[in-house]
Amino acid sequence: MKVLVPVKRVIDYNVKARVKPDQSGVDLANVKMSMNPFCEIAVEEAVRLREKGVATEVVAVSIGPAQASETLRTALAMGADRAILVQTTEDLEPLAVAKVLKSIIGRESPDLVIMGKQAIDGDNNATGQMLATLLDWPQATFASAIEVSGGKAKVTREVDGGLQTLEIDLPGIVTADLRLNEPRYASLPNIMKAKKKELAIEELASLGVDTAPRLKVVKVTEPPKRAGGIKVENAADLVAKLKTEAGVL
């Protein structure tokens, strides 16, 4: 069974995004970039499936600038077998990403696609669902557990107020939620080994996919700042202030 894992290069999880003074976007110059945390969880799950003997090959795919090859090397160091970079300097919307992935999937024919539920830059939470729709494959989003057997995947999903379990016929799309697993750190020997693994690069234009943006970004602004408050002396003081000053008790 072949598993395909799309991964995205985004601002590092621990870095605070800063808005550019000209309101054209978020300043990413000289900012630490990393693999999107939910994509890391997806890579980990795919690698675990291969280690269990369920999957035979794990292919990582990224769409982005030349530097996204670093993100793919991370996926290879975590245990993916090979990688594909669809190179572009455009910032693609989820619908365009889904169309590009559909094109790659048409050629790679994976049995299962595992991907992050959301990228922490655009915060759309849409690409996986869109890809499933375009492929007419079943979807199981926000997964906290995946069991694959007999051409089906049984997926436990995080829903508001609890857990839902679905069974999907493969090929299918699963999107990873936070509690699916805890991704490993790539060891130094594995980082070295990853340098020798295959990383194919192709230009986005060569795929012939319509990736024209549908949304025009008018401006990007800072959210209104919360004015800092006061320190209270003790619990009794706090309750008094909440009652009389804030009026919330």
Partner 1 sequence: MAVLVIADHDNATLKDNTEKTVTAALKLSSDVDLLVAGKGAKGVADAAAKITGVRKVLLAESDELGEGLAESMEALVVPLMSGYDAVLTPATSQGKNFSPRIAARLDVAQISEIVDVVDANTFIRPIYAGNALETVQSSDAKKVITVRPTVFKAAEHGGSAKVETIAAPAKPAKTHFVDQKLVKSERPELSGAKIVVSGGRAMGSAEEFHRVIEPLADKLGAAVGASRAAVDAGYAPNDYQVGQTGKVVAPELYIAIGISGAIQHLAGMKDSKVIVAINKDADAPIFQVADYGLVADYKTAVPDLMAALAAAGI
Q: What is the closest distance, in whole angstroms, from the C-beta atom of residue 109 to partner 1 in the complex?
A: 17
Nearer to partner 1, 189 or 229 (CB): 229
Q: Which of 57, 65, 103, 125 binds partner 1 (CB under 8 A)?
A: 125
4 binds partner 1, rule: CB under 8 A: no
CB-based contact 132:155 (threshold 8 Å): no
Q: Which of 98, 143, 148, 199 binds partner 1 (CB under 8 A)?
A: 98
For residue 176, the Cα-to-chain-centroid distance in whole angstroms is: 8
36 binds partner 1, rule: CB under 8 A: no
Q: What is the closest distance, in whole angstroms, from the C-beta atom of residue 46 to partner 1 in the complex?
A: 20
Here the tokens at position 5 are 């894992």
DSSP-assigned letter for residue 26? B
Q: Site residues for partner 1, window 130-149 (CB under 8 A)? A: 130-134, 137-142, 144
Q: Site residues for partner 1, window 147-176 (CB under 8 A)? A: 154, 158-169, 172
For residue 94, the Cα-to-chain-centroid distance in whole angstroms is: 11
111 binds partner 1, rule: CB under 8 A: no
Segment interacting with partner 1 (CB under 8 A) among 13-21, 42-50, 51-59, 104-112: 13-21
Nearer to partner 1, 95 or 104 (CB): 95
Q: Which residues of 162-185 are buried (b: 16+ CB within 10 A; e: fewer)?
A: eeeebebebbbbbbbbeebbebee
Q: Which residues of 15-47 are buried (b: 16+ CB within 10 A; e: fewer)?
A: eeeeeeeeeeeeeeeeeebbbbbbbbbbbbbbb
Q: Which of 40, 44, 93, 111 binds partner 1 (CB under 8 A)?
A: 93
CA–CA distance, 26 with 6 (Å, rounded to integer): 23
Q: Site residues for partner 1, window 178-217 (CB under 8 A)? A: 178-179, 182, 214-217
Q: Cite the DSSP H helix spans in 7-93.
A: 37-51, 68-78
